Chains A and B, each alone.
Chain A
Amino acid sequence: MERGGFHGYHKLPLNTTTPSKPEKFLMAESSMHLPEFNQPNKTSNGSEEECTVREQDRFMPIANVIRIMRRILPAHAKISDDSKETIQECVSEYISFITGEANERCQREQRKTITAEDVLWAMSKLGFDDYIEPLTLYLHRYRELEGERGVSCGSGSVSMTNGLVVKRPNGSMAEYGPYGPVPGIHMTPYHYRHQNGFVFSGNEPSSKMSGSSSAASGARVELYPTQQHKY
């Protein structure tokens, strides 16, 4: 289909507006590619999309949104189409809102990386105190799992194998039944992507939420005997 349409404006601006130097423009033209515009997730649509983000990148996938809602809603409930889309937008607004606030705090303290503490602080400041407790719990679990996953943290390395033998920080070995560290195994391929380039290492005693770092590792050790008893 001819993308020029009535107006024919789609193609020309790509070649004329952005290159700042004429020489660069000529070279770009001759080499027949425009690296400035090359973004992996764009198709070769018109220029109106060059400056905008695709809609699907601005929002959470509607399927996920609906799935999560359905768990909360009564079985017979329906959601109008415009509500679904509006809720998608609300979700994105929320993300931007919280992130913006967390980022402000981060910048005020002259750091460059938004941390969990920044996020929790933002929650509290913006009035979402109700979320702080479940988030804190989530963060504990996340840190425990990250600690299990073989991030070497001074006190002792832990490794996960298929045989599910885990070395605890205090040096003793413990073997667990097939269901023991399953959450950890589930998390392994998932979290691995995020490991690179990120600041956090599981055992840093920076957590104010758990009270003290020894409490955190104490909590970790406590967890295992419970699992052992179960399985």
Chain B
Amino acid sequence: MNAPANLVVETTSPAFKENAREALADRQLQQALSAVAPGLAARRGAARDALPEFETLREKGREIKNHTLANLDIYLELFEAKAKAAGSHVHFAPTPQDAREIILDICRKANAKVVTKGKSMISEEVGLNHFLEEAGLKIVETDLGEYLIQIRGETPSHIIAPAIHLTQDQVEQDFRRIHTTLPKNRVLAEPAQLVSEARGVLRERFLEADVGITGANFMIAETGSTVIVTNEGNGDLTQSLPRVHIVIASIEKLVPTLEDVGTLLRLLARSATGQEISTYTTFSTGPRRKGDPDGPEECHIVILDNGRSQLLGTDFQEVLRCIRCGACMNHCPVYGAIGGHAYGWVYPGPIGSVLTPALIGVKSSAHLPNASTFCGRCEAVCPMKIPLPGLMRKWREAEFAGGGGPALYGLGLKIWAAFAKRPRLYHVAARFGILGLSALAAGRGAFRKLPFASGWTKHRDLPAPQRRTFQQLWAEQKAGVPR
């Protein structure tokens, strides 16, 4: 099996090296990246320091997710029963194609023309917008960052800051190009003016939408609720105004109880943006109740698998603890240098390097687990303590052992996982990993400008860097040097 049949979103991961080289030469991208990512990392540090229990909470969060994953079938049944009792329709989507068809069917039955959408990486994973648009629906992304990239025909380059690759000037140009009914001579010099314009344009869409689609950060077995976390409130207008609310979420979003959600909420915003808590956390349970003056009349929950269940019982089960906070990419020197698009598929950064091979096969994403300096920063900040570098290493080994085939689909991975636990193979594969890095460095100089961690560059004869290294930026950031 070369490409999994359920790969519905194109990948440019095989061209990772070329992508990375282009990204490094892209001045606008470099400007945009340096404006945001280091700030997110610094704020996370401050938020962690302000909560003495933070490190212990990480351990608790890890335990909660491990427990849930080890009993996923039971919690899924509990969730389903509770959600149905609250009046939700629960749909099961083993593959992306299933999810797309289920959602289109709901939209058709609702006679929908306009569909608003809150931010959802799962909808990116199943290529939902494209599919619904082909079917004649008008899809409007309402998270500002998602809207910015939708009007450019792009995909997110970061899981929580999807338009992190864009500069303010680019946004102004796009708004002048797209919002043609507004006066040509209007002033759009400040971010606040741009935000106001988007607010006005999108408010009309919110009010006319027939269906609202959101993702979910959590699904709670105790109550059958789904939870979204936003700062803009767009997800709330998306789900409260239209007649039909559709939630799309993947199986690993399950958590047992409200207590467990509390622990994860204490980790999520701090890890993501360094906030004590995001501005809005919304628990949605079923459709509007009798006597409610607002809220949707129908609520559908579409639960996606897309190969995740096949990670259960393997070493890669750990990746299913991910709460999609983005901390690993905010702290990654490779991500910081090339941005998210170079990774070539839906999930960028360290989490992408581990998840993408699991979802689309390691063959077409073989470069990703190599896109690492093994500096270990991602694992050090991951609130769920996912051993990201170790799992990347395992993918390299898997690719090695499997002759480059996508090891995941079918039993291949499980057999391989047992095999790879043997130390002898580990040594062979580790050597392969080192060779992989050398090849990468020698390969047409694509990575010469990458600000790799010192442990790596030290042993190599690299040309003098043309811009400041990550370590310098990092040190300056800590010292508060304005940039």
- The answer on A and B forming one complex is no
